[in-house]
Amino acid sequence: MTQPSVVVNDTTLRDGEQTAGVTFSAEERIAIARALAAAGVAEMEVGIPVMGPEECENILAIASLGLPSRLMVWGRMCEPDLTAAASCGVHFVNLSIPVSDIQIRHKLGRDREWVLDTISHFVKHAQDMGMDVSVGGEDASRADPDFLLRVVDTAQAAGAQRFRFADTLGLLDPFITYNRIRQLREATDLELEMHAHNDLGMATANTLAAVLAGAGHINTTVNGLGERAGNAALEETVTAMHHLYNIGTGIDSCHFPEISRLVSIASGRPIPVNKSIVGDAVFTHESGIHVDGLLKNPLNYQGLAPETVGRSHKLVLGKHSGTSAVMHAYATIGITLTEFEAKDLLARIREHAVVTKRIPSAADLERFYLEAMPCASVQS
């Protein structure tokens, strides 16, 4: 486990649950919160109090667990949201406000000055109620950069602790993200948090770009759950930060498979088999050249040591196998093959793959062996 230098604020229980059709039961919310805390996630956004008494009870239940993670709730910049937030036993609130002209005008029917005045008022008000405040800049990626600087100044002057830069519609790429966050980083010493969406498949890349530009806080969700195409995936961003940049988060990545399964079941969203880090097939190898290389030395085809994320390599046989793989697979079931025998069996294995589109089982391998070498016997 690495020491934290980027604070992960996981929003599976807020933005993750905003995924259309997804709801978590009270028990599932507690199980997810416990699992995230056990993995070492420093912060989590646990809900939206103004949604009503049931949401508040669920938040209170998590708050009463005494988890080591810092908890945050989400609300709009308005009185009902703040009142509800103050009743949930959580003392850190992200107060969100649209900062792009399109949302200021066409969602709120307001203007930029109203936004600045509202930030000043509600940040102070929330602090007077005993809460630490993060200002959530909704649609920050479409905001006028100069106006965003005024937003951040206003938030800081009012006493906010953090500014969340939301790429609400997932429109950024890593280069633009880097420049936008760098500009803010140079202008303020407020904590900066990146909230990325995955509409163009770049949420993880944009989150990393924000970190490299100086954001010390990031939002993630388990399995990349979240509005539309989802948010930056916890498992991807954390693994990339650890692996590429040696940036610590305090998170033990070995917990990812377990948390990922838990959230997949609770959300009813299966994990794609090729999903980075946690997908069933992402450490599975069939191609002959790769398996041969891995058997000689795992480093030949291992960018990421699977044990570091709670996984292991799996070697399978199929249409693309080579003789080394066949000899290895038979050795694991106690049959030593000559290279000549392995080549013979490889043809049989390829035919099986083409006809059945299945990975052969140990029983299939024994049967192929007995068919190819009728005088041989297999010890069970």
Ligand X SMILES: CC(=O)SCCNC(=O)CCNC(=O)[C@H](O)C(C)(C)COP(=O)(O)OP(=O)(O)OC[C@H]1O[C@@H](n2cnc3c(N)ncnc32)[C@H](O)[C@@H]1OP(=O)(O)O
The residue ranges that bind ligand X (CB under 6 A) are 15, 18, 48, 50-51, 76-78, 96-98, 107-108, 138, 168, 227
Among 9, 12, 96, 118, binds ligand AKG (CB under 6 A): 96
For residues 360 and 275, what is the distance between their CA atoms, to the nearest angstrom?
Answer: 23
- Residue appearing with tokens 């002057």: 157
Among 94, 156, 239, 260, binds ligand AKG (CB under 6 A): 94
**Run of H or E including 217:** strand 217-220
Of all residues in the shown chain, the one whose CB is closest to ligand AKG is 136
Q: How far is the CB of 155 from ligand X (least distance, A)?
A: 13
For residues 87 and 254, what is the distance between their CA atoms, to the nearest angstrom?
Answer: 35
Return the closest-CA partner of residue 196 out of 187, 35, 188, 213: 213
Pick 15 or 341: Cβ nearer ligand X = 15
- Beta strand segments in 11-122, E: 43-45, 70-76, 92-98
For residues 55 and 206, what is the distance between their CA atoms, to the nearest angstrom?
Answer: 31
105 binds, among ligand X, ligand AKG, none (CB under 5 to 8 A by kind): none
195 binds, among ligand X, ligand AKG, none (CB under 5 to 8 A by kind): ligand AKG
Asked if 136 touches ligand AKG (CB under 6 A), the answer is yes
Pick 227 or 292: Cβ nearer ligand X = 227
Pick 94 or 156: Cβ nearer ligand AKG = 94
Asked if 221 touches ligand AKG (CB under 6 A), the answer is no
Asked if 76 touches ligand AKG (CB under 6 A), the answer is no
51 binds, among ligand AKG, ligand X, none (CB under 5 to 8 A by kind): ligand X
For residues 94 and 43, what is the distance between their CA atoms, to the nearest angstrom?
Answer: 12
Among 44, 131, 166, 309, binds ligand AKG (CB under 6 A): 166
**137 forms bridges with which residues in the sheet?**
97, 165
Among 7, 12, 13, 15, binds ligand AKG (CB under 6 A): 15
164 binds, among ligand AKG, ligand X, none (CB under 5 to 8 A by kind): ligand AKG
Long-range CB contacts (< 8 A, 24+ apart) of 344-352? Answer: 344/372, 345/369, 345/372, 346/321, 346/322, 348/372, 349/317, 349/318, 349/321, 350/318, 350/319, 350/321
Return the closest-CA partner of residue 158 out of 126, 124, 113: 124
Residue ranges in contact with ligand AKG by CB under 6 A: 15, 94, 96, 136, 138, 164, 166, 168, 195, 197
